A and B are shown apart, each in its own frame.
Chain A
Amino acid sequence: MNSFDIIGPVMVGPSSSHTAGAVKIGNISQKLLGTSVRKADIFFHGSFLATGKGHGTDRALVAGLLGFPVDDSRIPDSFRYAEEADMDFHLSGIDLGDVHPNSVKLLLSGDEGKKIEIVAASVGGGAIRVTEIDGLPANFSGDYPTLVVNNLDQPGHVTEITSMLSHKSINIATMQLYRSSKGGHAVIVLECDQEVPADAIRWLAHLEGILKVTYLGLAKTAKNS
């Protein structure tokens, strides 16, 4: 912790969890999609649904999908900017069950037929967690470069990924494995200390048994494979 965790951030109000956190969920979701957002179906759950309108959670989330930072004065007018950017969005409520009260589900489509389904939560003070990607669980903050690999549940994929990272001198901060069922779909989530280069992501995506590779880069220009 440092002084700027106490004095700051500079943000558009009114709430770090319901406004700034929602912007951040939008930012990270757009980066995970990897292109500009063309269509967004946004489903608010719990406290986001109950108090989101009053906190500007809807406008904050759309602003985040447009790539606006948390202190961007355009956040209150994000619906207008979405129209200008040709981004189609639809807002509604949902009951996601036993999840964090500040949760939202996003169905996003971008260019080149890209699609992603994300569930994320704003967990306080502007911090967030991505809790589900494409129907499988995940648990990461978006504070690290993050690699999400969907693959068939078969031997060898973890080794392929970790040897590639080792080859590129990338240190793994955290690693999670989930699967829908034995031999079904699996997802591997890796938070890394260094950025994963685009060629390495492309290489992974073409391996047998790898269904989809999604990458969250922290550099402003970072793009998906």
Chain B
Amino acid sequence: MYQSFQEIIEIEKKTGKSFWEIIRDNDCQEMEITPEEAFLRMRNMYEAMREADTSYDPSLSSASGLVGGDGAKLEEARKKGSLLCGSFLGLVMEKAVKMGESNACMRRIVAAPTAGSCGVLPAVFLSLEEEKGYAVEEMTKALYVSAGIGGIIAQRASVSGAAGGCQAEIGAASAMAAGSVAYLLGGGGEAIAHAAALAMKNLLGLACDPVAGLVEVPCVKRNVIGAVNALTSADMAASGIRSRIPPDEVFDAMRNVGRMLPEDLRETGKGGLAATPTGIAFRENLKSF
């Protein structure tokens, strides 16, 4: 995996290869597989996301009872046409919540990059495919773009809430999705990098403060902001807007902010929303073994 956007953009200029091809070729080398095998593996990941989306069950609720059924509420409102955000963003919100709920209810999901942030990429990707008619092949390439961005984040900063707070989960997923959408909108490495950076800047410092330590509150609904933020950031980058702080420096800032976050806000379930009277009450009501 590459450690910087700059490195990938230089290879892009030198070889004429697309961002996604550079990431795929790196996989082929590392995993000793053919380009066809690599592409098929990524397409299978995309299909697993689709399967998780279509198998959403609104009747399920999580072990704690805190999560379940909200995706169906959004679906109903969207179908009625009552959502201010309109049908496309409505669909994105709905899919993000559904996937987060499915995860909390022990359904099969694709961690991307983590289980808690598993709704961001599918919400953006599947909605774009459904509404804008992108081919599965294009979506697979876009998923490779996500993987490349996630690799940079994992090496420069972190993709773990325990290490870097929620910016490293929902934030990372949002940056990955933003870069992928910039690619789908026709952008090259530079637009991809800036879309990712613009997305991350909006979520820098986000606390990981799960109520009762569970991947439920606020994780499920945060998938919505991750997905929507990815789309607005990609639109900005595709319009020619650039991050005034270079993308690689933005992710260095993310690493530093993660290190400054107190332990209570890094997946310990001790600070933030988890430390509210209601959050504490939920924890105390939980059954143990």
Q: Do A and B bind each other?
A: yes
Q: Known contacts A1-B1, A12-B107, A12-B108; decide if A19 and B214 are in contact (CB<8 Å).
A: no
Complex: how many Å from CA A8 to CA B176? 14
Flag whether A47 is at the interface (Cβ < 8 A).
yes
Beyond A54-B63, A91-B289, is A15–B110 a contact (Cβ under 8 Å)?
Answer: no
Say whether, besides A2-B30, A15-B116, A50-B213, A56 and B63 are in contact (CB < 8 Å): yes
A–B complex contacts, Cβ < 8 Å, 12 sampled: A3-B1, A6-B154, A7-B110, A7-B113, A7-B143, A13-B104, A13-B107, A13-B109, A16-B115, A19-B115, A49-B288, A54-B213
Residue in contact with B103 in the complex, picked from A9, A13, A75, A92, CB distance below 8 Å: A13
Closest A residue to B286 by beta carbon equals: A54
10 further interface pairs, Cβ-Cβ under 8 Å (given A13-B109, A73-B107): A6-B146, A6-B159, A10-B108, A13-B105, A51-B214, A56-B63, A59-B106, A76-B106, A93-B288, A124-B160
Give the residues in chain A near B154, CB-CB below 8 Å: 1, 5-6
Q: Say if the beta carbon of B42 comes within 8 Å of chain A.
A: yes
**Interface residues in B153-182 (C-beta closer than 8 Å to A):** 154-155, 159-160, 162, 176
Q: Is the Cβ of A1 less than 8 Å from the Cβ of B115?
A: no
- B135 in the interface (beta carbon within 8 A): no
User: Is B147 touching A53 in the complex (CB atoms < 8 A)?
Assistant: no
Tell me, rounded to whole Å, the shortest Cβ–Cβ distance linking A143 to chain B: 15
* B147: A residues at CB distance < 8 A: 3-4, 6-7
List residues of chain A with CB within 8 A of the CB of B269.
Answer: 51
* A interface residue numbers (CB < 8 A to B): 1-16, 19-20, 44, 47, 49-56, 58-59, 71, 73, 75-76, 91-93, 124-126
A71 to B148, CA, bound (A): 24
Structural contact, B118 and A13, CB atoms closer than 8 A = yes
Contact B214 A54 (CB under 8 A): yes
Interface size of B in residues (CB-CB distance below 8 Å)? 55
Chain A residues, Cβ within 8 Å of B118: 13
Residue of A10, A20, A76 most packed against chain B (CB within 10 A): A10
Q: In the complex, what distance in Å separates the CA atom of A54 from the CA atom of B151?
A: 30
In the complex, which of the residues B104, B108, B216 contacts A11, with contact meaning CB atoms closer than 8 Å?
A: B108
B45: contacting residue among A4, A12, A13, A44, CB under 8 A:
A4
Contact of A3 with B213 at beta-carbon distance under 8 Å, contacts A10-B48, A10-B108, A125-B160 already known:
no
**Which residues 12-60 of B sit at the A interface, judged by CB distance below 8 A?**
23-24, 26-27, 30-31, 38, 41-42, 45, 48
Q: List residues of chain B with CB within 8 A of the CB of A14.
A: 62, 103-106, 115-116, 214-216
A53 with B286: CB separation less than 8 A: yes
Q: How far is the CA of A76 from the CA of B251 in the complex (A)?
A: 37
Of B38, B115, B150, which one neighbours A15 at CB under 8 angstroms?
Answer: B115
Inter-chain contact B62/A54, CB cutoff 8 Å: yes
- Picked from B24, B45, B212, the residue with its CB within 8 Å of the CB of A10 is B45
Nearest Cβ distance between residue B206 and chain A, in whole angstroms? 18
Tell me if A124 and B162 are in contact (CB < 8 A).
Answer: yes
Least distance between A192 CB and chain B CB atoms (Å): 20
CA distance A125 to B24 in the complex (A): 22
One of A3, A93, A125 near B148 (C-beta < 8 A): A3
- Ordered nearest first, which 6 A-B pairs have the shortest CB separation? A13-B103, A6-B150, A3-B147, A51-B213, A14-B215, A76-B106
> B102 interface residue, CB < 8 Å from A?
yes
CB distance from A6 to the nearest CB of B (A): 3
CB-CB under 8 A for A13 and B106, given A7-B147, A58-B289: yes
> Known: A47-B213, A51-B213. Contact between A10 and B289, CB under 8 A?
no
In the complex formed, the residue of B with least CB distance to A92 is B289
Q: Mark B245-259, 1 if CB is under 8 A from A, else 0.
A: 000000000000000
Contact of B289 among A11, A56, A93 (CB under 8 A): A93
Minimum CB distance partner of B29 in chain A: A2
Is B111 positioned at the interface, with any CB of A under 8 Å from its CB? yes
Instruction: Give the distance in Å from the alpha carbon of A53 to the alpha carbon of B113 in the complex.
Output: 24
CB-nearest residue of chain B to A18: B215
Quick check: A50 and B106 within 8 Å, CB to CB?
A: no
Give the one of A16, A54, A93, A125 with max B CB within 10 A. A54
